[in-house]
Structure 1
Amino acid sequence: MLTFGETMIALRGTGPLKLRGTMNVSTAGTESDVAISLARLGHAVRWAGIMGDD
């Protein structure tokens, strides 16, 4: 399977940063989530993306 799309970063806070809360970083994006899930199920998966000039 080949997926095309954007991978995003999800930042989830455990509380206000000014009160010493932390940020957890994980991947997000439908195409990435599908590719990761299929790979965990044992399927051969590839992901393709491209960076824009902006």
Structure 2
Amino acid sequence: MYGWIFTHLPGPAWARVVQSTVLVVAVVAALFLWVFPAVAPYMPFNDQTVGEGR
């Protein structure tokens, strides 16, 4: 998949590396800004298994 993306980007090799880096940063930013916060309420990581105590 990554090879297919790299070969289909226009320009010389250095420009494709820059474009690939920008694409990766954009995808990571989208995940952290929109996807992970939207999915977080459905994850069991914040569920407590121990009661409050006395």
TM-score, normalised via structure 2 length: 0.24
Report the structure, 1 or 2, having the larger helix content. 2
Query: What is the TM-score normalised by the length of structure 1?
Result: 0.24
| Structure ranking higher on relative contact order (CA contacts 8 Å, 6+ apart) | 1
Higher Rg: 2
Q: Identify, as 1 or 2, the structure richer in strand.
A: 1
